[in-house]
Structure 1
């Protein structure tokens, strides 16, 4: 997610779970987020709806391909 984009940081668009984004926590910045040091699955990036790209956060499980409940469509 870009640092100056509108944010919907609470809900993962892939599994509807909590994204655990640092931006939802008081005093945290995008630099504090888990995603800044994680390897994001190319498959997860491809599954983000077009209207949500750079506007939402996916959860760590979906981003790393460890969420067995994620919609694989």
Structure 2
């Protein structure tokens, strides 16, 4: 993985990706909403993981709206 693959494309913080680790990465068990993925800039799509903080923040905001 390159350095940029460890940076969330939305908040620019570490995404703590461990997809290549022995233990499964947190992202393999967490649902990432399509509406959140759609917010990733085109030039960063499919290049790094969205971090858990951004996923959780999006889900909290979505719950308040609904």
Question: Where on the TM-score scale, by shorter chain, does this alignment land: which range?
Answer: 0.5 to 0.7
SS in 2 for 1:32: coil
The number of aligned residues is 59
Look at both structures and tell me which one has the larger radius of gyration over its CA atoms.
2
Pair 1:37–1:62, CA change in 2 (3 A): same
Moved over 4 A (4+): none
> RMSD of the TM alignment (CA)?
2.7
Question: TM-score of the superposition, structure 1-length normalised?
Answer: 0.61
Higher helix share: 2
Runs of 5+ consecutive residues of structure 1 not aligned to the other structure: 1-5, 69-73
Runs of 5+ consecutive residues of structure 2 not aligned to the other structure: 62-66
